[in-house]
C-alpha cells in the first residue's frame, strides 16, 4: 500500500530532508585526499545529532554506520572504514535522517580532488538522470515514467543503469511502497498522486550493469570493477507543477 502524506506531514519530511541536505553539503566540503571515510561518518553523525535528528541508517538491518560511503567501483552501501581517500577517487555519500518520526534520504557522488573529464561526465549524467526522473514525477503520470526517463538518459550517454537496487517510497519508514526502479517501459505502475513522497536514486555504471555484494553483506560493487555513481533526492508530488525536491537546499 502506498501511504499518502498530508501537507503537515510533508512539512515534517521537509525538515528531515533539509537536515540531510545540510549534512551532505557539510560533508562534501570536507572530502579531500588523505582523509578516511570513517572521519566523514563521524562528522555526519555529529552534525545530525547536533541538530536534533537521528541517523536513519545506523542500526537499520544492522547497518553499522550513519553514512554510506561508496568509493569508485563501489555502487552503494559502502561501509565507512579506515580506507584513506586519494586524489582522483570518486565517493558516493548516501545519508538519511529522522526528524519527528519522519525520514529524509539523499545521496551525491563527488570527486576527491581532480578527476578526468570522462569521470566528471559520469557524475554529471547520473545527476542529470535523477532530474530527468524528477521531471516525470507529476500528477497523472505513472510510476514507470520516472524509471524510463532515467534509463533513457543514462543509456543515450553510453552508460548502464543498475537494476539490482531501486528507489522507494519514504515516510515514517525509510522504505515504503512503491519501489522505484531506474529502468523500464513508460506508462506502467500506479498513477502518481498528490501526497506521494518518493526517494528517487539512479545508480549508474561506466561499464556493465552487473553488481555483486561483498562478504561484508553490504558493499555493492561493479562486477567488472568499472566506476559507478549514485545521486538521490526525496521528492513530494504536488497538485500542480513539478515535484517539490525536499532534499535540495
CB of 232 to ligand MF3, least distance (A): 6
Say if CB 144 and CB 187 are below 8 A apart. yes
Say if CB 16 and CB 104 are below 8 A apart. yes
Q: How many residues does the chain have?
A: 249
Q: Footprint of Co ion on residues 177-206 (CB under 5 A)?
A: 199
Which is nearer to Co ion, 41 or 176 (by Cβ)?
Answer: 176
CB of 105 to Co ion, least distance (A): 4
Quickly tell me which residue has 533513457 as its cell: 152
Q: Which one of 9, 41, 45, 105 is in contact with Co ion (CB under 5 A)?
A: 105
73 touching Co ion, by CB under 5 A: no
- Piece of the chain touching ligand MF3 by CB under 6 A; list 7-15, 24-32, 53-61, 234-242: 53-61
CB of 168 to Co ion, least distance (A): 6
Spatial CB neighbours of 235, under 8 Å, sequence gap ≥ 6: 134, 137, 197, 198, 199, 200, 243, 244, 245, 246, 247
- Piece of the chain touching Co ion by CB under 5 A; list 11-19, 56-64, 82-90, 101-109: 101-109
CB of 76 to Co ion, least distance (A): 9
105 touching ligand MF3, by CB under 6 A: yes
131 binds, among Co ion, ligand MF3, none (CB under 5 to 8 A by kind): none
d(CA 107, CA 204): 13
Q: Which one of 47, 57, 102, 103 is in contact with ligand MF3 (CB under 6 A)?
A: 57
Helices (H), the chain: 7-30, 37-50, 117-135, 143-156
The Cβ-side half-sphere exposure at 18, using a 13 Å CA radius, reads 10
3-state helix, strand, coil in the chain (%, to 5): 30, 25, 45
93 binds, among ligand MF3, Co ion, none (CB under 5 to 8 A by kind): none
Q: Footprint of ligand MF3 on residues 114-173 (CB under 6 A)?
A: 168
69 forms bridges with which residues in the sheet?
93
d(CA 232, CA 127): 8
Which residues make up the interface to Co ion (CB under 5 A)? 105, 199
Which residues make up the interface to ligand MF3 (CB under 6 A)? 57, 60-61, 63, 68, 77, 94, 105, 107, 168, 199, 201, 232
Amino acid at each position: 500500500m502506498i501511504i499518502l502524506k498530508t501537507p503537515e506531514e510533508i512539512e515534517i519530511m521537509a525538515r528531515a530532508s533539509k537536515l540531510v541536505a545540510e549534512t551532505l553539503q557539510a560533508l562534501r566540503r570536507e572530502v579531500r585526499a588523505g582523509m578516511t571515510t570513517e572521519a566523514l561518518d563521524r562528522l555526519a553523525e555529529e552534525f545530525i545529532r547536533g541538530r536534533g535528528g537521528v541517523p536513519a541508517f545506523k542500526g537499520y538491518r544492522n547497518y553499522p554506520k550513519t553514512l554510506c560511503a561508496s568509493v569508485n567501483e563501489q555502487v552503494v552501501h559502502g561501509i565507512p572504514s579506515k580506507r584513506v581517500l586519494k586524489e582522483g577517487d570518486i565517493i558516493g555519500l548516501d545519508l538519511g535522517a529522522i526528524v519527528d518520526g519522519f525520514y529524509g534520504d539523499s545521496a551525491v557522488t563527488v570527486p576527491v580532488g581532480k578527476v578526468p573529464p570522462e569521470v566528471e561526465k559520469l557524475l554529471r549524467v547520473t545527476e542529470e538522470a535523477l532530474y530527468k526522473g524528477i521531471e516525470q514525477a507529476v500528477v497523472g503520470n505513472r510510476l514507470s515514467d520516472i524509471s524510463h526517463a532515467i534509463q533513457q538518459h543514462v543509456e543515450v550517454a553510453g552508460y548502464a543503469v543498475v537494476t539490482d537496487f531501486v528507489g522507494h517510497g519514504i515516510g515514517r519508514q525509510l522504505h515504503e511502497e512503491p519501489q522505484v526502479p531506474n529502468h523500464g517501459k513508460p506508462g506502467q505502475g500506479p498513477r502518481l498522486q498528490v501526497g506521494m513522497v518518493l526517494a528517487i536514486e539512479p545508480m549508474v555504471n561506466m561499464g556493465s550493469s552487473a553488481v555483486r555484494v561483498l562478504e561484508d553483506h553490504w558493499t555493492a560493487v561493479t562486477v567488472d570493477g568499472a566506476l559507478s555513481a549514485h545521486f538521490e533526492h526525496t521528492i513530494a508530488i504536488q497538485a500542480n507543477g513539478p515535484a517539490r525536491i525536499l532534499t535540495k537546499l
